[in-house]
Structure formats: structure tokens, C-alpha cells
A = this chain, B = another copy of it.
Amino acid sequence: MTHHDTHTSSDRTAAQPVVPRRSTRRGAGLKELQLAGSGFWGRMQHANATATFQHCLDWMERLGWLANFDRVAEDATDGPRPGWQFSDSEVYKLMEALAWEHGRTGDPAPGELFEALSARVAAAQDEDGYLNTCFGHVGQAKRYSDLEEGHELYCTGHLLQAAVARLRTHGTDSFVEVARRAADHVCREFGPDARNAICGHPEIELGLAEFGRALGEPRYVAQAQLFVERRGDGLLTPIPLLSSAYFQDDVPVREADAWRGHAVRALYLAAAAVDVAVDTGDDELLDAVRRQWARSVERRTYVTGGMGSRHQDEGFGEDWELPADRAYCETCAGVASNMVSWRLFLATGDPAYADLMERTFYNVLATSPAEDGRAFFYANPLQQRVPASDVSADTANPRAEGGGRAPWFEVSCCPTNVARSLASWNGYALSVSGDAVELLQYAAGEAEVDLGNGVLGFRVETGYPVDGAVVVTVTRAPRRPVRLRLRVPGWADGATVEDGGGARPVAPGWAEVHRTFRPGDRVALALPVAPRFTWPDPRIDAVRGSVAVERGPVVLCLESVDLPDGASVEDVRVAAGALPRSSGDGAVVDAVLVRTPAAGPGGFGATYRSAPPELLPVRRVRLPLVPYHRWAQRGPSTMRVFLPFPS
């Protein structure tokens, strides 16, 4: 028997990842927008569904991460346990992906995979609701004996997120009940009168808040609030060689100015803080996260939207510390950044949050998976100095770096995070606020959006992001004036919108049409996606004297495979006065290949010189630039996003 979540008005709108308790704005239900299979995101969802899910499942079976659940169920935990202490979470993220996919498409296959996993997970739950394959059983460390590094609550958070997806796409079932018992266990163990503690890796907060929303269970939101508020009081013992900023236990959330420490942790925590702030009407907390977003986006974020400047600690750097070559920009941090921005958008309606999401979708999320959906980038640097050499299709990569996509990682958080994000992508593309439908992300497809009092249906035709023309044709409309808002990205200088009459210019923000639509009505947005130079702030030392080239929302890059033989991406200077021109889905730009003249006998005199080295021009070239999200698809290469211009 299935009964549905009571907090949304229909099956179609229920299927969304984030449903704030108090909000005048909601995201699209996954079923409200169907993507065309031929579009950018349609193709990625296809690879996700037809390759990535099974790929992840196979790796987790092969490595024994799934069998860990069986061993707990069979009381056979005495031997060595494969996988890191957080490997359960990968299973839950895959389940979340499967649930969204099943809900979005109705395809039974992901639903069946979900149920098979659900049975194995459920069998591993202890009587009192505790569920973890690494702690608390024979031969294992005690429950909650290592809150700093144990990741038990982190795993539970992902379990709850998977349950949210299941509940909102299918209704309650035995898995949802497993999650409810796990959440109850957490509330008993960590409630206001129980142990005053937090998890080293935020995530439980997100899971509790949304599961509480989905079930209408305020205890869970209250427990999330408790975890958020406890943070910053030094409850965690710093891990050797790390500081408490690593897990955001240095400063209370509402007092922090910027994100710091481990990027994924910082962002999961910030997202949960928005959930708590919105549901409890805590504007001070909401404003704190908005302030942190503004500062961190301005000073600690790459042009790709990537976050996390440091391999050390997988962390944010200081303001303006944005090295291209050692950019960590973990794929999961991109996923997490979008989780924050989405919540802030729902809370505020500011399209700047959707702008960053678009940037992150095209340049982080879309960069990670290979076209075939069976290999992934973990880190997403903006410069690769040495071609990949050690990426095997058959070996889990022990490191996050390397210049090539790897099939799996020893710490394999990214593939399943990509999977759940792609499966639920539609939910972030549209929003509804009163009588307004807001088109946030552009993709060809069909929408039927529930306005509460009527439905606005429309078809989107576009070749975006390669083509900037977005044509919206109304297929169904209420017989009253409603608003159609089209997001005009911050970079779109010179956009126009045409609505029956002639084209009129629209500034970044919203292009709004407010009237009684009829089937066949067309609204055409033209976004200027011609390639353009983008200059970094002069305080970013790492890319001084350099420009990036962007094309619409897509950051481009230079790959060594596109250079003449023997030339290196380090030898390229953008030609004086050059302007990038469109070419396919990328660009071409006039450039000069240069040579650094030798100085002295080598060593220091050659590297640190007494006179400014004059670069010697070798030849002029027309340089092809490709979308950054496509790099490393043509064999091992070196790569640069930022290209120096002559000084």
C-alpha cells in the first residue's frame, strides 16, 4: 500500500528534492518537465540511466561495499571490512539516483534496482534503528566512537536523502520505514537531552531536515537545527594535522563570514542551515548563509563555478587564492554548491543563485562524467600541466587527481553524486512562485507546470548552450493572466526577448511576460552565446595577465591535442587585439606561440633573471578552444582555461 506525501499538491509536483515548509516559491516536480533526449542534459541523463547506475552498482558489488550490508545481516562482521568507513553512503546516493530516475521517467528498471538494494540495506538495520556497516557490530569499533572521522551520521544523512527521493516519487514503503527508524534512533541518541555531539562530516542535517519535511515530522527538523546550532563550539577534537575549520567546528554557522575548510562539508552544512533557517523563520541564519555565499562566490570560486582551491584538506582557500593548476574543485563540491544555491534561490527568488547553478552545471557537473557515463573526474583543475598517465579503466583510482577520468575511486563520492544530480536535474530547471512560472535552466523539452489554479504547458525548443535561441511555445494555459519569467544570465549582455511583437532588449535578471497565454503563443529569448573574453579580478594572483574564454554559460579551454606538433599549452599567448570567434560548440582565437629564450647556464640564473625575459614569437596560430566539460576526451592532454595575453 502506498500513501503519498501530504505536503505537495500532486504526484507530479511532489517529486522534488527540496520542499521548504514555508516558501512562496517551489521548484519543479521532476515530472513537470520532460527533457528532449537529444539535448545537452537529455543526453547526459541517458548515459546516466543506461550506463552510470549499473557501473556504480558493479563497482560496489565488486569491491564488497554492498556485501558489507549482507555481512551485518548475517552477523559475519568479524573479518576485515572492505571500503572506507563511509562506503555505505555511496549505496544510498545511488539509491537516491535510482529513485529520482524511476520517479522522473516511470521506467521500472531503476525502481527494481532500488528495491533490490533496499532489501539488502534493510536487512542490515539493527533492532533499535541503527544502520551502519562499519561500526557497532562484532569485531567493529563501537557506535559513535569516532565522530570526527567515523562518518556514521553522514551515512545516515544520505540514507535519509534516499528515503526522501523514494517517498516523493513512490510513497512510503519498507525503505522509508527503515529510514524513519534510523532518524528516530539519531534523535534519541543526539537529541537535546542526549549526547551533545555532531558528526565530522555534515550531511545528517540535510537528511533530517528534508525527511522531516517530507514526512511532516517536526522532530527531525528540530534535530537538524540542533546539529546546525551545535557546530562551531569545538565539540569535535581536531584531527591530527588539521584544524577545526576543516569540519567547520571553528565558528558558529551564523557568525561565519565565508566558507572555509573542507569544501563539501562546508557546503552541505550551509545548505542544511538554509533549510533550518527557512523552516524556523530564522532570518539571521538565512542572512548569514547569504553573506557567506556572496563573499565565497566573489573571492573563493573559480570561473567554472568550482569551489575548493586546495588539495590539502580538500578545502577552500583564502580570499583570492584560486590557483588554476591545483584547483581542487571537487565534483561533489559542485553538487553541494548547487544544493546551497538552490535553497537560497527558493528562499529569495534572486536569479543570481540560478546563475551560479548554471555555471556549475555546465562546468563542474557536466565535466565530471565521460560521455559514456563510466568514468569521472573527482577534482576539476583549470590547468593540467602533465598528461594523464595512470588512469586505468579497470582500477579504482587511489587519488583524486591525475588529468584523466577514472572509473572509480578509493574514495568514490563523486560518481554517485553525479548520478543523483543528473537524475534530478529537471527539478532545478523550473520554479513556480504564485502565478509565475520561472524558467531557470534552458533545455529542449516539454513542460506542464501546475500553478495550483490551472496548468501552464509549453514546449521549449533550443540548441542551448551551443545556440542562444530559446523558443517557448505555449501548449496549454489558464484563462487568466499568468507570468512567464525567463532567466537572463548575468553574462548575457545584449539579450533580447520577442513576445509577439518585435524583439526588445532585456537586462540580466528576468525577462517577464505577463498576460493571458493561448496555445501557440511564442516567447523567444535570444541569449548572446558568442565567445567572449573574461578577465579575472586582479587580486587573483594565480591568473594575473591572463584571460579565459567563455561561450554562453560554458567555459572553454585549450587542449594540447589541438596544438601543432611540439607546441605546449604553456607557449601560447593570445594575440594582441584578438577576439574569440565561434566555432562549433567552442571557439577559435588568434594566438602566438612563443619560446622563452634560454638565459645563462641554467639553474637559478635561467629561472629568476636580472632582466625581464623577452618572449620570442615562433608562429601565429588560430587556436581552437573546446568546452572545458569536454576536455580529456581525446586522449591524454595538457590543458589551460586561462591564457596569458602579451604584457
CB contacts (< 8 Å) of A542 on chain B: these are 323, 541-542
CA distance A538 to B299 in the complex (A): 25
Does A301 sit within 8 A of B, measured CB to CB? yes
Q: Is A398 an interface residue (CB 8 A)?
A: yes
Interchain CA distance A491-B545 in the complex, whole Å: 27
Contact A606 B537, beta carbon cutoff 8 Å: yes
The answer to whether B544 touches A546, judged by C-beta atoms less than 8 angstroms apart, is yes
By a CB distance below 8 angstroms, the chain B residues around A241 are: 398-400, 410-411
Residues 345-386 (chain A) with a chain B CB within 8 angstroms? 352, 355-356, 359, 383, 385-386
- In the complex, how many angstroms separate the beta carbon of A85 from the nearest chain B beta carbon? 12
The reply to whether the CB of A215 lies closer than 8 angstroms to some CB of chain B is: no
The answer to whether A385 and B610 have CB atoms under 8 Å apart is no
Which of A158-166, A595-603, A621-629 interfaces with chain B? A595-603
Cβ B545 vs Cβ A647 within 8 A = yes
Interface residues of A in 526-555 (CB under 8 A from B): 532-546, 548
Query: Which residues of chain A (551-580) have a CB below 8 Å from chain B?
Result: 570
- Interchain CA distance A411-B242 in the complex, whole Å: 12
A572 to B604, CA, bound (A): 26
List the one stretch of A111-119, A174-182, A311-319 in contact with chain B.
A311-319
> Smallest CB-CB separation from A612: which chain B residue?
B535
Cα of A298 to Cα of B601 in the assembled complex, Å: 10
Contacts of A505 in B (CB 8 A): none
Q: Which residue of B lies closest to A573 (CB)?
A: B538
- State the CA gap A390–B606 with chains docked (Å): 39
Q: Which of B326, B548, B606 contacts A321 (CB 8 A)?
A: B326
- When chains A and B are docked, how far (Å) is the Cα of A437 from the Cα of B298? 59
Beta-carbon contacts of A512-524 to B below 8 Å, as 1s and 0s?
A: 0000000000000
Q: How far, in whole Å, are A138 and B451 apart by their CA atoms in the complex? A: 73
Question: Please, how many angstroms separate the alpha-carbon atoms of A481 and B311 in the complex?
Answer: 59
CB neighbours (8 Å) of A596 from chain B are: 537-539
**A352 CB contacts on chain B under 8 angstroms:** 601, 603
Majority SS at the chain A contact face: loop
Q: Is the CB of B537 within 8 A of A320?
A: no
Q: Say whether A325 faces chain B, with CB atoms less than 8 Å apart.
A: yes
Chain B residues with CB below 8 A from A647, complex form = 544-545, 647
**Nearest Cβ in chain B — how far from A151, in angstroms?**
15
- 11-56 of chain A: CB within 8 A of chain B: none
A255 in the interface (beta carbon within 8 A): no
Whole-angstrom distance from the CB of A576 to the nearest CB of chain B? 12
Are A297 and B541 CB-contacts (below 8 A) given A238-B398, A321-B385? no
Q: Mark A586-621, 1 if CB is under 8 A from B, else 0.
A: 000000000010001111111111111101000000
A539 → B minimal CB distance (Å): 5
Asked if A153 is at the interface of the complex by the 8 Å CB criterion, the answer is no
* A615 nearest CB neighbor, chain B only: B538
Classify chain A's interface size.
35 or more
In contact, A607 and B538 (Cβ under 8 angstroms): no
Could you tell me the distance between the alpha carbons of A325 and B544 in the complex, rounded to whole angstroms? 14
- What is the bound-complex CA distance between A601 and B398, given in angstroms? 42
A493 within 8 Å of B (CB atoms): yes
User: Which residues does chain B contribute within 8 Å of A544, judged by CB atoms?
Assistant: 544-546, 644, 647
| A352 (CB) vs chain B CBs: closest residue | B603
Q: Which residues of B contact A470 (CB under 8 A)?
A: none
The answer, yes or no, to whether A310 is at the interface (CB within 8 Å) is yes
Q: Is A303 interfacial (CB 8 A cutoff)? A: yes
Residues of chain B lying within 8 A (CB to CB) of residue A298:
602-604, 606-607
> Are the C-beta atoms of A318 and B325 separated by less than 8 Å?
yes
- Scan A194-217; emit 1 where CB is below 8 A from any B CB, else 0: 000000000000000000000000
Most buried by B among A324, A541, A606, A615: A541
Residue of B whose beta carbon sits closest to that of A596: B538
CA distance A567 to B589 in the complex (A): 38
Residues of B within 8 A of A294 (CB): 602-603
Q: Check if A490 is an interface residue, CB within 8 A of chain B.
A: yes
B240 near A398 with CB under 8 A, answer yes
CB <8 Å contact, B535 and A609: yes
B399 touches A548 (CB 8 A): no
A438 to B602, CA, bound (A): 23
Q: In the bound complex, do residue B490 and residue A603 qualify as a contact, i.e. CB atoms below 8 Å apart?
A: yes
Q: How long is the Cα–Cα vector from A596 to B317 in the complex, in angstroms?
A: 20
Cα distance, A537 to B611, chains bound together (Å): 10
Q: Which positions 460-498 of chain A face chain B at CB distance < 8 Å?
A: 490-491, 493
A243 within 8 A of B: yes
Find out whether the CB atom of B301 lies under 8 angstroms from the CB atom of A607: yes
Chain B residues in 8 Å Cβ range of A535: 608-613
| CA–CA, A404 and B400, complex, Å | 31
The contact of A607 among B311, B317, B536, by CB within 8 Å, is: B536
Contacts of A644 in B (CB 8 A): 538, 541, 544
Are B490 and A537 closer than 8 Å at their CB atoms? no
Q: Are A534 and B610 in contact (CB under 8 A)?
A: yes
**Cα(A323)–Cα(B317), bound, Å:** 13
Q: Smallest CB-CB separation from A544: which chain B residue?
A: B545
From B385, B541, B543, A318 is in contact (CB under 8 Å) with B385
Shortest distance from the beta carbon of A270 to any chain B beta carbon, whole Å: 16
A245 to chain B, nearest CB (A): 10
CA separation between A317 and B609, bound complex, in Å? Answer: 21
Asked whether B299 lies within 8 Å of A607 as measured between CB atoms, the reply is: yes
Q: Mark A629-647, 1 if CB is under 8 A from B, else 0.
A: 0000000000000001001
Chain A, range 242-260, C-beta contacts under 8 Å to B: 242-243
> Known pairs A297-B607, A311-B311. 12 more at Cβ < 8 A?
A241-B399, A299-B607, A312-B312, A324-B541, A352-B601, A491-B610, A534-B609, A534-B610, A535-B612, A537-B608, A538-B613, A647-B647
Can you give 18 A-B contacts (C-beta < 8 A)? A298-B604, A301-B604, A303-B608, A311-B311, A311-B312, A320-B385, A320-B570, A323-B542, A356-B604, A491-B605, A533-B610, A535-B608, A535-B613, A536-B609, A537-B606, A539-B596, A545-B647, A647-B647
Q: Ordered nearest first, which 5 A-B pairs have the shortest CB separation?
A: A311-B312, A318-B385, A545-B545, A312-B312, A544-B545
